[in-house]
């Protein structure tokens, strides 16, 4: 079956070596995913922004809509309980009461669970940031548009809830040491039964799937001292009703070094939505997990000892193998940011369980240069090679570990914002890629019809290959853009003026062999350079002058291109148009290898015998109908 793919025609108007960064044309909403958004750039490349947590949800209308965790007013009655507040927009719904009997109702896919504190005080709920309570404890934010507070729900204790992308956080804030050590909740579920699996509380549907679960308990005081000496206890009345009690260690609260307020976190996870993939680990607290903390920490300090960040991004399947660039973008909160590098993680891990003691190994050498401040405390780490390897199947994607080059100096540390921070401070991975496997470029000048070959070559590529075609009819093109095409595509055709050592880009600028020194072009299977003198001097895989290959053919092959054809000596535009047409037909439709198609082409109607002018570098037996 012949499949037709979209042809993209991108006008190029940027000139010179120091051209401005390409702009954004529009978002490609059809490529939006739960954790990513993709944009068309002015240079024809796609830029995919991937987040370490979900940003969108699939709405009932079948389109991805942005998650809005803000707490808004509602009027809702369920099983005799009235609810006054809810989260604004997400695939799950959480409702909060503001009545004599406080309650929280979480619903997802026609299943629900309700929590109501037992023997609590009668207090009014306060939505948003107006509650006069603690705003943050040890990196855990307690205020924002997605928060609702029940101040003094028990004597000396505030209950604070936040609606998050994949869970509902419940923070029990103990303001002093004269408070209860345990708190009970009447729990009722619909569409799922309550299961106590060795202290792990799950809500299971009729086919055995976990719909909700209570997260691992921990507590932290205002000085950052953690403990996991807490427990759940369950008294079941039926499969769908129970009293669940949370208890905290008396010894922990009575410690003379305890600094109040103390926070207890029993979050309710919506199973299947837990996609947040960033956290940090601490050598000082080797068994502590810092999932859902507002910050990511590197370096070393007195409070945590050595700190390292684990972060991962689920790259959408729409991102091609032809990666032009990939950068982690992460915002600094505080610290020095001396020398932070990215390393490739070599094994699986999850944000909610990884600790210093169980963290997987990582690459022995860094896979990025030091994080660079690009402005407003946004730091970038170039991880292009690693992301490209992931997309090409050369390595598995287990994410990155970020750490300082020196981890023994307690003055060298950096704190970044995590995905739990408020927007727009969340980390992201920006991937620029070529969404097509073939690039056709033609230099446009008055009275010269080089773009004729577009009409002849494009159909062969579209009908016989498995990818989109970029057609760039340019008057000038930056070297950076030309190199990005070469580094990202599989098949590259260019029709332009030629020099012995380069490709003419307009405005007296040429892409020369020296511009490609050290570039990795292993992605490039084939290049056809319809230029004058592009292959002057013949071809030799090893011939160089002053450390530089004699011509552009030799340089492309040395950089990793599998096969390249150019021409030595003068050529004519009309001949090049005919050669490209017949070459594409012979290789992509007829199945001939590139050497045979070039050497045995019928050139009787051409001004010059192009088959004799052709210089073939690399693998001449390559075919282009794969």
Q: How, if at all, do strands 46-51 and 36-41 pair? A: antiparallel
More confidently predicted of 11 and 107: 107
Residues 43/436, Cβ–Cβ less than 8 Å: no
Which residues have C-beta within 8 Å of that of residue 317, sequence separation ≥ 6? none
CA-angle at 192, arms to 187 and 194, nearest 5°: 50
- Give the mean pLDDT of 153-178: 94
Residue 152's nearest CA partner among 128, 135, 181, 172 is 172
Alpha carbons 415 and 394: distance in angstroms, whole number = 32
State the Rg of the chain over Cα: 30
Strands 167-174 and 68-78: unpaired
Residue 222 and residue 300: Cα distance in Å, rounded? 19
pLDDT at 363 over 70: yes
Residue 238 corresponds to which tokens in the numbers above? 């039926």
Closest CA to 162 of 172, 174, 152, 154: 172
pLDDT digits (tens, 9 = 90+) for 386-431: 999 999 899 999 999 999 999 988 989 999 999 988 888 999 999 9
For residue 3, pLDDT over 60 is answered with: no
* Burial class of residue 622 (count of CB atoms within 10 Å of its CB; 0-12, 13-18, 19+): middle
Rounded to 5°, angle at Cα 249 from 246 and 254 = 135
Summarised one tens digit per residue, pLDDT across range 530-583 is 988 888 888 887 787 777 788 999 999 999 999 999 999 889 999 999 999 999
- The pLDDT, as a whole number, for residue 11 is 41
Going from the C-alpha of 613 to that of each of 124, 568, 583, the distances in angstroms are: 86, 5, 14
pTM score of the predicted model? 0.73
Number of H-type helices and E-type strands within the chain = 8, 48
Residue 431 near residue 387, CB atoms below 8 Å: yes
User: Sorting pLDDT into bands at 50, 70 and 90, what band is 622?
Assistant: very high
Phi and psi at residue 522, to the nearest 5°: -65, -15
Confidence at residue 9, expressed as pLDDT on a 0 to 100 scale = 42
Kindly write down the DSSP assignment for every residue of 157-195, as one continuous string.
EEEEEEE-SSEEEEEEEE-SSSS-SEEEEEEEEESSEEE
Q: Burial level of 461, CB count in 10 A (0-12/13-18/19+)?
A: buried
In the chain, where does the domain assigned CATH 2.60.120 lie? 289-433
Torsion of CA 616, 620, 625, 626, to 10 degrees: -120
CA distances from 492 to 158, 250, 281, 438 (A): 64, 70, 45, 6
Residue 512 · residue 550 · CB < 8 Å: no
| 289-433 is a CATH 2.60.120 domain | yes
Q: Which of 275-284, 400-409, 594-603 has the lowest mean pLDDT?
A: 275-284
**DSSP states of 606-619:** SSS-HHHHEEEEE-
For the chain, give every residue range classified as CATH 3.40.50.1460. 436-618
Distance, CA of 492 to CA of 438 (rounded, Å): 6
pLDDT at residue 618, as a whole number: 93
3-class DSSP assignment, residue 599: helix
**Would you say 200 and 213 are in contact if contact means Cβ atoms under 8 Å apart?**
yes
- Indicate the class that CATH gives domain 436-618: alpha beta
């Amino acid at each position: 079956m012949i499949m037709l793919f979209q042809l993209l025609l991108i006008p190029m108007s940027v000139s010179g070596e120091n051209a401005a960064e390409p702009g954004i044309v529009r978002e490609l909403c059809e490529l939006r995913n739960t954790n990513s958004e993709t944009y068309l750039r002015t240079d024809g490349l796609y830029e995919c922004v991937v987040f370490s947590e979900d940003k969108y949800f699939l709405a009932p209308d079948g389109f991805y809509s942005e998650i809005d965790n803000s707490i808004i007013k509602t009027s809702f009655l369920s099983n005799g309980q009235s609810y006054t507040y809810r989260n604004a927009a997400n695939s799950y719904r959480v409702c909060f009461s503001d009545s004599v009997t406080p309650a929280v109702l979480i619903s997802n896919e026609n299943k629900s669970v309700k929590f109501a504190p037992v023997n609590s005080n009668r207090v009014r709920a306060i939505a948003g940031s107006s509650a006069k309570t603690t705003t943050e404890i040890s990196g855990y934010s307690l205020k924002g548009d997605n928060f609702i507070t029940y101040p003094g729900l028990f004597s000396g204790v505030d209950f604070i809830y936040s609606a998050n992308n994949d869970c509902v956080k419940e923070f029990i804030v103990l303001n002093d040491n004269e408070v209860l050590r345990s708190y009970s909740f009447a729990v009722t579920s619909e569409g799922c039964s309550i299961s106590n699996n060795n202290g792990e509380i799950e809500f299971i549907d009729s086919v055995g799937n976990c719909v909700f679960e209570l997260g691992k308990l921990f507590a932290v005081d205002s000085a950052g001292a953690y403990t996991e000496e807490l427990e759940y206890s369950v008294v079941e009345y039926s499969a769908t009703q129970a009293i669940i009690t949370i208890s905290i260690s008396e010894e922990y609260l009575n410690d003379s070094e305890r600094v109040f307020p103390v926070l207890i976190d029993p979050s309710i996870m919506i199973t299947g939505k837990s996609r947040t993939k960033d956290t940090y680990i601490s050598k000082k607290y080797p068994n502590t997990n810092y999932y859902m903390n507002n910050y990511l920490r590197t370096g070393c300090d007195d409070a945590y000892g050595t700190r390292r960040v684990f972060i991962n991004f689920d790259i959408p399947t729409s991102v091609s193998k032809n990666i032009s660039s990939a950068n982690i973008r992460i915002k600094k909160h505080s610290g020095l940011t001396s020398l932070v590098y990215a390393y490739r993680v070599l094994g699986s891990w999850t944000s909610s369980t990884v600790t210093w003691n169980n963290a997987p190994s990582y690459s022995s050498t860094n896979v990025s240069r030091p994080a660079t401040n690009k402005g407003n405390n946004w730091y970038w780490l170039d991880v292009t090679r690693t992301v490209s390897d992931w997309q090409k199947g050369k390595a598995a994607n287990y994410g990155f570990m970020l750490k300082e080059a020196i981890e023994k100096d307690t003055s060298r540390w950096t704190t970044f914002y995590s995905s739990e921070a408020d927007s727009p401070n969340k980390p992201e991975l920006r991937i620029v890629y070529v969404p097509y496997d073939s690039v056709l470029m033609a230099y446009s000048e008055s009275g010269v019809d080089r773009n004729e070959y577009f009409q002849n070559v494009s159909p062969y590529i579209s009908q016989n290959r498995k990818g989109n075609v970029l057609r760039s009819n340019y008057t000038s093109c930056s070297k950076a853009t030309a190199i990005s095409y070469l580094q990202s595509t599989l098949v590259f055709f260019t029709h332009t003026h030629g020099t012995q050592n380069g490709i003419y880009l307009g405005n007296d600028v040429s892409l020369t062999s020296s511009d490609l020194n050290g570039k990795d072009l292993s992605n490039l299977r084939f290049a056809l350079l319809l230029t004058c003198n592009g292959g002057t001097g013949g071809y030799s895989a090893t011939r160089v002058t002053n450390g530089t290959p004699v011509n552009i053919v030799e340089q492309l092959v040395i950089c990793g291109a599998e096969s390249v054809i150019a021409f030595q000596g003068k050529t004519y535009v009309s001949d090049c148009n005919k050669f490209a047409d017949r070459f594409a037909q012979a290789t992509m439709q007829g199945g001939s290898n590139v050497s045979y198609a070039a050497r045995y082409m019928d050139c009787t109607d051409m001004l010059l015998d192009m088959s004799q002018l052709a210089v073939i570098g690399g693998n001449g037996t390559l075919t282009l109908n794969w």
